[in-house]
Amino acid sequence: MIHRGIQTLCAEAESRVEAWSVEQAYAAREDENLIFVDIRDVRELWRDGSIPGAVHAPRGMLEFWVDPDSPYARDFFQEEKRFLFFCASGLRSALATRAVKEMGLDPVCHMSGGYSAWKKAGFPTEARENRRGSG
């Protein structure tokens, strides 16, 4: 039996990381020192699109992509930038932001409400192409 469920984990993460509203994120979208990081599954991107200019870093590989000593490290995580993580509703991004912050990546924050709130606010989105075909 588990002792700490997902609600507890997400609440703890929220209390330990910086959260931005979608309005704050939208206002900062042109900031050259900010990288929007979409951590949703690639199938979510193909189905729903993403925020224009956001990089994709799937949640399952995030820590491996952030770690410069990992064979999977991504160059953009090695830049001296602020990273704004987002998912569909803000839960996975809170957990992800906490994880990378604990690794030492800073400054980092996440977008409350996630991509769903971004779309609901009427902010721009872009389609993401399925480069693997239909399956």
What would the two tokens of residue 100 be? 């990378």
pLDDT digits (tens, 9 = 90+) for 81-122: 999 999 999 999 999 999 999 999 999 999 999 999 999 999
Higher pLDDT, 20 or 4: 20
For the chain, domains (ranges, CATH) are 31-120 (3.40.250.10)
> pTM here?
0.93
What's the pLDDT score for residue 135?
Answer: 47
Rounded Cα–Cα distance for residues 33 and 102 (Å): 21
Can you tell me the mean pLDDT for 67-77? 97
Contact 70, 64 (CB under 8 A): yes
User: Which residues lie below 8 Å from residue 30, measured CB to CB, with a gap of 6+?
Assistant: none
Q: What is the mean pLDDT of residues 11-37?
A: 96
The angle at the Cα of 56, spanning 40 to 42, to the nearest 5 degrees, equals 45
